[in-house]
Structure 1
Amino acid sequence: MQQLIQLRWIAVVGQVATIFTVHYGLGITLPLHYMMTALAVLVAFNAASLLRLRIRRRVLNEEILLALIVDVGMLTVQLHLSGGASNPFVFLYLLQVSLGAVLLRAWSTWAMVAVTLCCFIALVVFGEPLNLPVGYRDGLTGPYVLGLLICFALNATLLVVFFTRINGNLRARDTRLAALRQRAAEEEHIVRMGLLASGAAHELGTPLSTLAVILGDWRRMPDFAAKPELQQEIDEMQAQVQRCKSIVSGILLSTGRARGESPTETTVHTFLDELVAEWRATRPSTGLVYDNHFGRDLRIVSDSALKQMICNVLDNALEASPQWLRLQASHDDDTLTLIVDDAGPGFSSEVLERLGKPYNSTKGSPGSGLGLFLAVNVARTLGGTVHAANLPEGGAMVTLSLPLSAVVLPDEDEEDEHVG
């Protein structure tokens, strides 16, 4: 509809120029009063169409058909007032049919063909030829041949402009559909992973619980209680069993099976400080540098999915750079920005091009490459983004940008005001 409105404005300007050129330039008398009245009606209809488009963007097939029929009707009126079927601009009917073939459904296109045929026949039957000068068909200077030339150039130009814009719209639509299909495939992959994780959790739950019970019994046995070194090993084994349970729960959350196991209220500083402390306690690395520049502390809702997303990125950086990695937190307008950089070899160009795709990794082991994939999808669920790049001095950097509106709780004053 927007393209038709633009073309209609072009048609109005073109008709005004053509009418005055023929009437005053070529000396062919035209009923200017009636032709200007028809143009005024066309301008009013186009203004109404523009207002309709601003009120509601969705346009039905029937509305486009009606708009094209109005255009054909106004063209028929102008042709009837300026020579009928003998007017060289009668071939502008083909432009309307071509537009209908592109924009309308099949039955509507054939309806356009029928309407234009009826209008053409009406021009033949009821049209009155103009009093043209002698030799009006002679050469390019003759009014009729000149009109044919202008009509052909106008048809060709408008068709090229219109179809170029339509093709651009179609390419944009296809690009968006491809992106939606890709996202649907990724989400389907996450669902499959969630089903596998559910099965794994079900299978691993019993043996892990059994191990926890056995270790608890060992801890109370006199033979183990009398040896501190064995007690220390049992404590370590119990901690590892508990970590296995946490990993299984984290996988379930990361794959989308659940969104936040018992989300709790906390603050940005507390959430990040506890996350870093827990990560340091469970990973064999002392090289994590933690810089928190967030500024004013804010109340947020913390859940395991958000926590697991950040830990996945930290784990990837740890594998690439066991000796040194850094987590930086900052506040940019209404965005929480987390930057994880390391001193490893960096990302390959293939990994950067396929960032966020499953099994996108240079490790070469089956099942690897899911860390950033899960991080990208969790961030996207929260309305955020994940960006990866290589640093000029070496190493890699992953930037997590999350809108604070997705995690920050409103102030109590704002809540009271809202309730009031």
Structure 2
Amino acid sequence: MPLQRLAKSAEFLRNPRAADAAAGIKNLQQLIQLRWMAVIGQIFTIEVASHSLRLAIPLQPMLLVVGCLAVFNVVSLLRLRTGVQVRNVELFLALLVDVAVLTTQLYLSGGTSNPFVFLYLLQIALGAILLRGAYIWSMVGITTACFALLANYHLPLELPHDLHQGLSSLYVLGLLVCFVLNAILVVIFITRISLNLRERDARLAAARRRRVEEEHIVRMGLLASGAAHELGTPLSTLAVILGDWAHDEELMGDEVLGEDITEMRTQVQRCKSIVSGILLSAGEARGEESEQTTVCKFVDALAEEWRTTRTMPAFSYRNDFGEDTPMVSDTTLKQMAFNVLDNARDASPQWVELVITRDDTAEAPALCITVNDAGPGFAPQMLEHLGEPYQSTKQRPGSGLGLYLVMNVARTLGGSVTARNRAGNGEGSGAQVSIRLPLAAIALPRGHRPA
């Protein structure tokens, strides 16, 4: 499976609209929770007004309105579980339903003489946070119109005219309860909604940063692709010349010279493989095709190729993946592992370890590639800025891109890269870099077998 097709599985990470969608779903959740509180509060208020205060209110119609609100909330909950993006107009319509229910209850219980008429302010406050543009002012206009209509059209509610009694007055107590409800609900839900919006802004900022990083990678990819094209011809020429030398008995008769020629042919072949890998990752194959294989065969071949093309006194390899899984080998995946191994070899020339495991602890099984070394380890500032370009201890121009590219490839596949010092957080005991790739991103569909 070419890496370009795998990138589609993480397209939402690069789409800023995904942040708005996530915020919309969370905001709808807040409205559903608020509506359940409204259902419970209305039932309690109707009960107190009818039985405790013995006010003459139309009990059955008011309870029917509460039932309709509960049914609408159940429908909203089912809609939320679909995971479909919640648009601004949908939040506006949901708030209109709440306004309609409040207006109906106020119509049945005294209109503007009901102290709970000021709950309209809560609807306006929620609209100001959730909605945008004309929707906000539409909410203000609609609630104002409802208030005005209730002043002229409503069923009477007989409340004693005892405002002078202060808190002993039923109307004043109703105003106090309405004020407390407004204050508490505004603080709770506006705080939650503001948190959702801040999380959305953070995701948008991360998406913008990701886009800048990917543009940087594209520029480097174009440069690498151009360099690979330019290197192809001289490398082929060198391969032909070295092939001729390898068939020259006089040259191969010299033991030292013969070993040098053999080593040169190996390194030229390695350079050609790297060039082919660069071109393949850029979508320009040089005759090599992706092959169907299995995870174990892929990592075994990867370890063997790295072992034979590098001079390494001690290279430890352990494959604990377990039950094999069909997959399609991709040069980019191999190059990603080679980058980490090469970095470990630079830091620890005497010993490098490669460990392959399978992680079944999370929801999605994953392939874990772990590289250990016995070098100086990571400096604290490098661990803090892990994955940023040009973070390297090598004093060479352009160094520090290997791990940066590795992390971006892993992230594109929905995976992750972690790094730590092997003994605590201090330096000097070697480093460990772990790549975790979801099997769903690299494996063949279930039931498919390698050809």
TM-score class, shorter-chain normalisation, is: 0.7 to 0.9
* Residues 7-16 or 132-141, more deviating: 132-141
Match of 2:380 in 1: 349
Deviations 1:52-93 (A, max 9, x none): 333463333333333222222222222222222122211111
Query: What is the TM-score when the length of structure 1 is the normalising length?
Result: 0.87
1:34 maps onto 2:87 in alignment: no
Distance of aligned partners of 1:257 and 1:357 in 2 relative to their CA distance in 1, 3 Å threshold: farther
* Residues 57-66 or 89-98, more deviating: 57-66
* Residues 358-367 or 24-33, more deviating: 24-33
Q: 2:266 aligns with which of 239, 261, 278?
A: 239
SS at 2:168 equivalent: coil
Residue 127 of structure 1: CA displacement? 3.4
In 1, Cα distance between equivalents of 2:46 and 2:296: 74
Distance of aligned partners of 1:220 and 1:288 in 2 relative to their CA distance in 1, 3 Å threshold: closer
Q: Would you say the 8 A contact 1:292–1:329 is kept in 2? A: yes
Distance of aligned partners of 1:107 and 1:373 in 2 relative to their CA distance in 1, 3 Å threshold: same
Residue 103 of structure 1: CA displacement? 2.0
Q: Would you say the 8 A contact 1:359–1:369 is kept in 2? A: yes
Q: Match for 2:397: what amino acid?
A: P
In 1, Cα distance between equivalents of 2:238 and 2:107: 94
Match of 2:340 in 1: 313
Match of 2:126 in 1: 99
Residue 368 of structure 1: CA displacement? 1.1
Match of 1:86 in 2: 113
Mapping 1:56-205, distance limit 5 Å: 57-127=84-154, 129-205=156-232
SS at 2:389 equivalent: coil
Q: 1:276 aligns with which of 298, 303, 314?
A: 303
Distance of aligned partners of 1:328 and 1:156 in 2 relative to their CA distance in 1, 3 Å threshold: same
Residue 310 of structure 1: CA displacement? 1.4
Q: Match for 2:437: what amino acid?
A: L
Q: Percent identity?
A: 58
Match of 1:3 in 2: 30
Residue 410 of structure 1: CA displacement? 6.1
Distance of aligned partners of 1:259 and 1:358 in 2 relative to their CA distance in 1, 3 Å threshold: farther
Distance of aligned partners of 1:37 and 1:290 in 2 relative to their CA distance in 1, 3 Å threshold: closer
Match of 2:10 in 1: none
State the aligned residue count.
414
1:402 maps onto 2:437 in alignment: yes
Query: What is the TM-score when the length of structure 2 is the normalising length?
Result: 0.82
* Residues 156-165 or 129-138, more deviating: 129-138
* Residues 83-92 or 248-257, more deviating: 248-257
Distance of aligned partners of 1:142 and 1:199 in 2 relative to their CA distance in 1, 3 Å threshold: same
SS at 1:139 equivalent: helix
SS at 2:370 equivalent: strand
Distance of aligned partners of 1:77 and 1:134 in 2 relative to their CA distance in 1, 3 Å threshold: same
Q: Match for 2:65: what amino acid?
A: A
In 2, Cα distance between equivalents of 1:253 and 1:350: 34
* Residues 281-290 or 220-229, more deviating: 220-229
Q: Which is higher, the Rg of structure 1 or of structure 2?
A: 1
Q: 1:206 aligns with which of 229, 233, 240?
A: 233
SS at 1:140 equivalent: helix
Q: Would you say the 8 A contact 2:266–2:309 is kept in 1? A: no
* Residues 321-330 or 399-408, more deviating: 399-408
SS at 2:378 equivalent: coil
Q: Would you say the 8 A contact 2:279–2:286 is kept in 1? A: no
Distance of aligned partners of 1:55 and 1:129 in 2 relative to their CA distance in 1, 3 Å threshold: same
Match of 2:317 in 1: 290
